Chain A
Amino acid sequence: SQQGEEDPQALSIQEGENATMNCSYKTSINNLQWYRQNSGRGLVHLILIRSNEREKHSGRLRVTLDTSKKSSSLLITASRAADTASYFCATDGETSGSRLTFGEGTQLTVNP
């Protein structure tokens, strides 16, 4: 079964607005990561948050992690048309070593 599940499946916003995507998972994790995928391309690593961290920032990205609720959110502030992509969360479980399990992704469309 999928470890990570993103919500919403699709999100459409205007340029300049903030975009929030959520991820839920089922088992205990070592860390949670967010990736971005432009259409027909490979995934690009955005940010990693460890299980003992609650919030992390990188540029316009803010990630939160709530291990009690087994959930994470990715906030993209002041969105741009170039942010249009699919965003995936991925987790590595405490017993899964380095292998990651990916959710099904959120398709973000930022309209100019």
Chain B
Amino acid sequence: DGGITQSPKYLFRKEGQNVTLSCEQNLNHDAMYWYRQDPGQGLRLIYYSQIVNDFQKGDIAEGYSVSREKKESFPLTVTSAQKNPTAFYLCASTGLIWGGYTFGSGTRLTVV
């Protein structure tokens, strides 16, 4: 089955640590996105990539970094510079023609 996989489902981070969230898709989609969702709120765009080896900042990129070395993979690193990282992180992808996004099941990150 084609889809988009995020791991881990739950992640705990200590103060001052960097953590990396995984996002892998086998849909042959060109574009991939990372969103952050806080309780009871909508999604805010962190970073996106429309092609391998290229990515752009979204609306809330500070404290985050990404890479796009392979078409299938778009990992997100939450750095120690992100002061309030506790949130639900969603990865999505889309092909160039259809326009709708396919979402992963999310990673819930908690700072302990």
Q: Is the CB of A98 within 8 A of B99?
A: yes
Q: Is the CB of B104 within 8 A of A42?
A: yes
Q: Is the CB of A33 within 8 A of B100?
A: yes
The answer to whether the Cβ of B50 comes within 8 Å of any Cβ in the partner chain is yes
Q: Which residues of B contact A (CB under 8 A)?
A: 6, 31, 33, 35, 40-45, 48, 50, 58, 88, 90, 92, 94, 96, 98-106, 108
Which stretch from A14-22, A63-71, A73-81, A102-110 is at the chain B interface?
Answer: A102-110
17 contacts between A and B (CB under 8 A): A4-B42, A33-B101, A40-B88, A40-B106, A42-B6, A42-B104, A42-B105, A43-B101, A44-B103, A45-B100, A45-B102, A98-B48, A98-B94, A98-B99, A99-B33, A99-B58, A104-B41
A100 to B48, CA, bound (A): 10
Q: Is the CB of A43 within 8 A of B103?
A: yes
A90 to B37, CA, bound (A): 14
Residues on B with C-beta less than 8 A from A97 are 50
A112 to B104, CA, bound (A): 29
Q: Is the CB of B100 within 8 A of A88?
A: no
A104 to B38, CA, bound (A): 10
A33 to B58, CA, bound (A): 19
Task: Give me the 8 closest cross-chain CB pairs, A-B, nearest first.
Answer: A42-B103, A104-B42, A45-B100, A102-B43, A102-B42, A43-B103, A42-B105, A98-B31
**Pick the contact of A48 from B58, B92, B99 — CB < 8 Å?**
B99
Distance from A49 Cβ to chain B, minimum over Cβ atoms (Å): 11
**A39-70 with Cβ < 8 A to chain B:** 40-45, 48
- B43, B58, B90: most-surrounded residue (chain A CB, <10 A): B43
Q: Is the CB of A31 within 8 A of B99?
A: yes
A104 to B105, CA, bound (A): 19
